[in-house]
Amino acid sequence: MISWLNFGILIVSSFLFTFFYVKSVSPAALGKRIGPLAYNRCTAYRVISSVFMIVVAANYILYHWFPLPLPLPQNFPWPWWVSAGIAVLIAVPSLYLMIRGIKDAGEETMTPRSEHAMYGGIYTRIRHPQAVGEFPLWWVIAFLVHSPFLALFSFFYVPVWYHMCIAEERDLLIRYGTAYEEYRAKTGFWLPKRNKK
């Protein structure tokens, strides 16, 4: 019973963090309807989304003690330290991209502002470094709790993060117009573009 409750909360929280994050990255579109208050409201949506992400992370951890009764092994067939090593291999580049993206985005990471200029730093190479750094962290937790099911379930977040990035780009086109179109043409979505000779 607890295992299904934990998994149910994980699913609902995943939906809610996606819903509120998509709303949080649309301040320019919302601003057309409600004016300058849109940016403060989107900040509140971003905070709510973050709370639900934390809930999902807690559900992942609880899954170790309350796995679903599925025809999958509860643990990987190798020792836990191998899974921990895999987690570290995923975590190091992911955290680098996420932290670098947060640093270069500045306050815009959690607090969108109408007067904020387009980003520099790592954003001159890829448009969504924070997303590329964040979604692999679900695999980090899955391997740390040594769960094959969670490692498979984590693939669910790839299209979720893709959808969130697309939603963000729609609003950035409203905010920055032609400048953002030109920026998109020069930079990669999740990976750097190869220079054409």
- Kindly give the parts of the chain with pLDDT less than 50: none
Encode pLDDT of 71-121 as tens digits. 989 999 999 999 999 999 999 999 999 999 999 988 878 887 777 677 788
Q: What is the CATH number of domain 2-186?
A: 1.20.120
123 in Cβ contact with 105 (< 8 Å): yes
Domain layout of the chain by residue ranges: 2-186
What's the pTM?
Answer: 0.91
Spatial distance between the Cα atoms of 57 and 110, rounded to a whole number of angstroms: 19
* pLDDT attached to residue 196: 56
* pLDDT attached to residue 117: 72
* pLDDT attached to residue 36: 85
* pLDDT attached to residue 111: 82
* pLDDT attached to residue 14: 97
* pLDDT attached to residue 195: 66
* pLDDT attached to residue 120: 81
